[in-house]
Amino acid sequence: MASLTHQGAGGEDLNLWNIVARMFDKATANLSIPEGLLKQIRACNAVYYVQFPVKIGDRYEMFQGWRAEHSQHRKPTKGGIRYSPHVTQDEVMGLAALMTYKCAIVDVPFGGSKGGVNLDPRQYTREELERITRRYTAELVRKNFIGPGINVPAPDLGTGEQEMAWIADTYDALTPGSIDSLACVTGKPVTQGGIAGRKEATGRGVQYGIREAFKFPEDLKPTGLTGGLEGKRVAIQGFGNVGYHVAKFLSEEDGCRVVGIGDISGGIRSEAGLSIADLTDHRARTGGIAGFPGSSPLGGPGDVLELDCDILVPAALENQITLANVDRVRARLIAEAANGPTTLGAGEKLHQRGVMIIPDIYLNAGGVTVSYFEWTKNLSHIRYGRMEKRLDEMYRQKLVSTIEQVTKSHVEDRLRRDLLHGADEVDLVNSGLEGSMQNAYREIRAALQSEPRHVDLRTAAYAVAVQKVARSYTELGDFP
Ligand code: NAD
C-alpha cells in the first residue's frame, strides 16, 4: 500500500515515519556508533499489510490492516493496535519505531511493533467491532505476527480492554493447547488475565514523569515555572484513556487545576478548574463534554493547544503542535502523552522560546511498562502478591506489636490499618511503574548533562535508547 505524504504549513513534512527517522538522525549525529549499525537500527524490519472482508449488516466491507515490526533485537515485539480512519503504513511504521526506543528507555525487554486498522470505531456496533477485531487477529495468526514469544499487541487510539479480550480469545481458539496464550496480548480486562493498574498505566506514567521533572528545579528554569505541581494550570487535548487518567490524577492527587480539555468534538475551558469526576458523569449522561456546567466552549479540537496554561498535555494524536500553530502555543511545559504530537520544527521553535518538552518516547512509556508486568504475570500464571501478601502482613503485625511493647504505647487504629496492609497487585504495579519512570528520567537528564550537543530531553532520550539497542545488536551479531 502506497504511503501517504502529509504536508503541513510551509511544506512541513508531517509523515510520522520521516519525522521519527529525522529525529533519529539528529540524535545519533552526536554518538559514535558505526553507520552500518545505525542503518540497521533505523530500518523498520517487517510490515504485514492485509485487506480483509467483514460482513457489516447485509453487505461485505473491506478493511485495511497493518502490523509493523520495527526491531526484533528483543522478543517479543510489542506495541498497540490503533483503530482510526487515518491510519497509514508510514504512521504504523513510525509508531513501531517509537516503541523500540520507548522500551529501551524504560528497560522493558521488547522490540518495537505497532498495528492499525483503517476504520472509525464510532461508526460500528459492538458486534461489528468484535467481528472486525477477530478477523484481523486471525490474519495476524496466519502470518505469525502475533504470539506470546513473537508479537504482543496492546490498546492504542480507538481500542481498549474489550478489543484486547477478543484478541486473546481468538488467538486461544486458533492455537489450541497453548498454555501461554493469554500472554499474546496485554491491556486485557483484569477478569480476562489483565493486570490491576494497566488501564490507567499510561496516564499514571505521565503523572510520574511530570512529577519527576518538578523534582529538578534547574531543569524547569528556562520555562520560568517554579515550586511544585500544586496550583499549576493544565490544558489537555484528548479525554480518552490517556487524557482522562492524566486529568484525573493531576487534579485529584497533585492539586493541579485543569483549565481546558479538548477532544475530537471540540473542547471546553474553565479558569476555575474542571472537576474531572463531574465531567465524566456529564459525558456519561450526554455523550460528550460539550455543555458542561460552569465551562465555556472552545471553537475546535485544536483550540485547547493554544490556551493560556502552565502545562499542556497533548493526549490525542500525532502532529498537533506544528509550524502552523506553534507560535500560538502559550504553555511553558509540554508533556507529550500522545505519540508524536509535536513536529520537529515546532519542537525546535519551542526550545528556542525556553519551553520544555518531556518527550513521548519517555513520558508515555507507562503503558508498555505495565504491559510488561501483565505479560510476565500471564507467563507465570499467578497474580502478583498472591504468594507473599499474607506473610508480609504477618511480619508487619509482629513489627507493630514489637513497637507497642518497646514503647509501651498503642498504635492508633488508622495508622495500624495502613501499617498492616500488605501490597496488593495494584500497589506492586504502581511502585514498579514509578521506579521505572524515575530511573528513566534520571538517565535521560544525565545524558543531556554529559553531552550538551544533545540540546534537549528528546534528543537525549533518543541517544539513550539508540545506544542500548546498538549494544544489543552488537552483542547479538547477525544470523543467518
Ligand atoms: P483513546 O481512543 O482512548 O482517546 C483518544 C482521545 O483523543 C479521545 O478523547 C478523542 O476524542 C481524542 N481525539 C481523537 N481525534 C482527535 C482530534 N483530531 N483532535 C482532538 N482530539 C482528538 O486513545 P488513547 O488510548 O487515550 O491514546 C491517546 C494517545 O496516547 C495516542 O497518541 C496513543 O498512541 C497514545 N498512547 C496510548 C497508550 C495507551 O495505553 N492507550 C500508550 C501510549 C501512548
pLDDT digit string (tens) for 305-318? 999 999 999 999 99
Q: Residue 166: pLDDT above 60?
A: yes
**317 alpha carbon – ligand 1 mean position (Å):** 6
Degrees, nearest 5: CA angle 237-15-137: 80
Query: Do 319 and 343 touch, CB atoms closer than 8 A?
Result: yes
pLDDT given for residue 6 in this prediction: 76
On the question of pLDDT at 248 being above 80, the answer is yes
Q: Which atom of ligand 1 is nearest to the CA of 201?
A: 40
* Residue nearest atom 22 of ligand 1, based on CA coordinates: 264
> How would residue 5 be classed by pLDDT, with cut points 50, 70 and 90?
low
Q: Which of 78, 114, 188, 232 is catalytic?
A: 114
pLDDT, average across residues 198-223: 98
Task: Tell whether the model's pLDDT for residue 34 goes beyond 60.
Answer: yes
| φ, ψ for residue 63, nearest 5 deg | -120, 150
Tell me what pLDDT residue 30 has: 87
Question: Rounded CA gap, 166 and 81, in Å?
Answer: 13
Q: Residue 261 is which amino acid?
A: I
**Would you say residue 1 has pLDDT above 70?**
no
Average pLDDT over residues 380-388: 93
* pLDDT tens figures, 416-470: 999 999 999 999 999 999 999 999 999 999 999 999 889 999 999 999 999 999 9
One-letter amino acid for residue 391 of the chain:
L
Question: What spacing in Å lies between the alpha carbon of 319 and ligand 1's midpoint?
Answer: 13
pTM confidence score? 0.96
Nearest residue (by CA) to ligand 1, atom 42, is 367
Which amino acid, one-letter code, is at 301? P
Backbone angles phi, psi at 151, to 5 degrees: -155, 125
CA of 116 to the centre of ligand 1 (A): 13
pLDDT score at 235: 98
DSSP strands (E only) in 216-366? 233-237, 257-263, 266-269, 296-298, 311-314, 333-335, 356-358
Q: Active-site residue 114, yes or no? A: yes
C-alpha pair distances (Å), 245 with each of 35, 168, 370, 429 = 41, 25, 15, 16
DSSP 328: G
What tens digit of pLDDT does each residue of 80-89 get? 999 999 999 9
Ligand 1 geometric centre to CA of 114 (Å): 15
Q: Is the CB of 92 under 6 A from ligand 1?
A: no
Query: What is the band of 10 on the pLDDT scale with cuts at 50, 70, 90?
Result: confident
Residue 207 pLDDT exceeds 80: yes
Amino acid at 61: E
The pLDDT of 99-115, averaged and rounded, is 98
**What's the average model confidence in pLDDT over 246-274?**
97
Measuring from atom 31 of ligand 1, which residue has the nearest CA? 338
Burial class (CB in 10 A: 0-12, 13-18, 19+), 30: middle
